[in-house]
Amino acid sequence: MLVHHFLENSAEKYPHKEAVWYKDLWASFMDIEQNANRVTNFLIKNGISRGDRISLLMENSISYIICYFGILKAGAVVVAINNEVTSDNLLFYLNNSESSAIIAGSRFSSLFPIISHAPSVKFMISDTSLAYPPRTAYSLEDILQSEKPQRPEVSTISLDLASIVYTSGSTGNPKGVMLSHQNLSDNTVSISNYLKLTPEDRIMVVLPLYYIYGNSLLTTHFYCGGSVVIDNRFMFPNLVLETMRKMKVTGFAGVPSTYMILLNKSTIRQCKLESLRYVTQAGGSMPPSIQLQVAEVFAPAKLYVMYGTTEAAPRLTYLEPEMLSTKLGSIGKAIPNVEVIIADENGRALPAGHIGEIAARGSNIMLGYWKDPQSSAAVLRNGYYFTGDLGKTDEDGYIYVVGRTKDMIKVGGNRVSAKEVEEALLNLPHISEAAVIGVPDSILGEAIKAFIVPKTEHIPDVSLIKKELSSMISPYKIPTLYSFHRELPKNESGKIMKEKLRILPESELSESQPYSSQSPEFSQSPESQPPETPPPKSPEGGL
């Protein structure tokens, strides 16, 4: 099956059904199908053919979805670009992917001049008029008004490349994850099955659609004929909660920081979301104590804890909601049609209780990294994709992540998992967010440094933090250095970017005093109507 078949099939079954809500307007499946066809017909007319790459730089919107499917229908490859992109990043993406065209929203007009330095780009499409376009430019509005809505005939097979998703690590250039139609469609079907999605489901989308987790929300609901509700104002979470209530959404998806914001800076505990059936969490580890809070606050909606990577399109495992209390801290078992093992250094499966690298195989695993055979060979070995995460299984086969192969801190002769320390810190009642890194130490080799966002404007007493941690983790795992901040650097997907922690100032908060439950809370979001989206902030981090 091809990814755009999800739209085509739903448009045939439910032509007038509400498909996407955005800014108080609904678009039906037929609306999106016909407009996507118009984009496709324009692309073909202008020389785009099977396998050509087209960059897509737009915020979440109906236009994004139309262009996404329009590119795929042409047999072309979507290069979805992080909305926090800088001019240097954009130039890299365009040149590395050798994009033949770019479709970009007006929000990013300040970056448009850089397009002139990408020789492969033949033309651009924008939703804003350009007085001095860097390339031949066309109006998306004109295309949607002038092109034919009939579906074109384009030869494409499921093994064809559908998307290149760039992910960034802490060093080097971003890697372009190559995902075929089969990768994406098979994973979509598996996710839809275990979530038991139906045409009656409506998902609230606050995650960016260029992000693989966000993209899966779109594909799963178009596959089953469900609806997508877009609200880009999560910086004001109470407005999103009101949208969820008003639009009677049945599903919500977030990364750990999404839920931390809802728990600490919204009215979620007083909000009645009577239509909500389930919530999902992926995109990083969420401490078990927070999982329990989320499950309690959102009940009777069920919490699905999920695990995956961009390279897996994106899902590898999930934990059944009814097993949350029994297998707390687990990422569950492999999703349908995927096999996951804990592998030793030679790629052999380890027995229960032994720590090794999490490896997986299935029709969802990427084709490789774009133009990077060396990096591809490093993670695609012996028929498996090696995730870089360390894990173990229990006697029942449930998987637990214990750290990253590259996120271990060597303190003296001891290896310390940053994840374990972060989870201990987040168990403390006066800490809202925490991240841990290793920093050079002349005696120990590395020392553990904690970056903390307190729940109040006051810095908790460090001696109190250490005392509380001593009952949860070994002494050598307790951080020796602390830095306190109002927020930690995150990419637009909500993941903390650890590579940026090293350049943060020592502390943004200067008043130090013992923690008190009576301390004033951080100021709440204003009630006034905010802008849809904050300005771009920083380059993306990996999934």
CATH of the domain at 459: 3.30.300.30
Give φ, ψ of 83 to 5 degrees: -70, -10
Task: In whole angstroms, give the CA distance from residue 231 to residue 242.
Answer: 10
365 lies in the same domain as 413? no
Give the tokens for residue 148.
Answer: 């034919």
For residues 231, 237, 239 and 245, what is the CA-based torsion angle, rounded to 10 degrees?
80
Residue-number span of the structural domain to which 481 is assigned: 408-503
Q: What is the pTM for the complete model shown?
A: 0.83
Q: Are residue 245 and residue 388 in the same domain, yes or no? A: yes
Based on the fold, state whether residues 244 and 376 are members of the same structural domain: yes
User: What is the percent of the chain where pLDDT is above 90?
Assistant: 76
Q: Using H for helix, E for strand and C for coil, what is the string for 224-262?
A: HCCEEEECCCCCCHHHHHHHHHHHCCCEEEECHHHHHHH
Residues 186 and 319 placed together within one structural domain of the fold:
yes
Distance CA 274, CA 112 (A): 44
205 and 149 in one domain? Answer: no
What's the Cα-to-Cα distance from 190 to each of 313, 332, 461, 514, 515, rounded to whole Å? 11, 15, 47, 49, 46
Q: Which amino acid is at 96?
A: N
Instruction: Check residue 338 and report its DSSP letter.
Output: E
Integer Cα distance of 459 and 465 in angstroms: 11
What is the per-residue pLDDT for 539? 30
Distance CA(237)–CA(301), nearest Å, equals 19
Interatomic CA distance for residues 225 and 227, integer angstroms = 7
**212 and 141 co-located in one domain:** no
From the list 479, 497, 488, 422, the residue with the least C-alpha distance to 453 is 488
pLDDT tens-digit series, residues 157-210: 999 999 999 986 444 578 999 999 999 999 999 999 999 999 999 999 999 999
Query: Which amino acid, residue 304?
Result: Y
Together in a domain, 130 and 205 = no
Q: Identify the bridge partners of residue 386 per DSSP, sorted by sequence position.
A: 359
Mean per-residue pLDDT, 382-407? 92
Give the pLDDT confidence of 409-453 residue by residue, as tens digits. Answer: 878 667 788 888 999 999 999 999 999 999 988 777 789 999 999
Q: Which stretches within 131-204 are classed as H helix? A: 140-146, 181-195
pLDDT for residue 378 is more than 80? yes
Are 365 and 427 members of one domain? no
3-state helix, strand, coil in the chain (%, to 5): 30, 25, 40
Of the residues 401, 422, 457, which one is the last residue of a structural domain?
401
Containing H/E element for 460?
A: none
Provide the pLDDT for residue 172: 57
Assess whether 184 and 217 both reside in one domain.
Answer: yes
How many structural domains comprise the chain?
A: 3
393 with 245, same domain: the answer is yes
Arithmetic mean of pLDDT over the chain: 90
Q: Tokens 């033309």 label which residue?
A: 123
250 and 310 part of one domain: yes
Q: Distance (Å, rounded) from C-alpha 453 to C-alpha 459?
A: 9
Determine the pLDDT at residue 517: 31
Render pLDDT for 36-78 as a digit per residue (tens, 0 to 9). 999 999 999 999 999 999 999 999 999 999 999 999 999 999 9
Residue pointed to by tokens 């809202």: 432
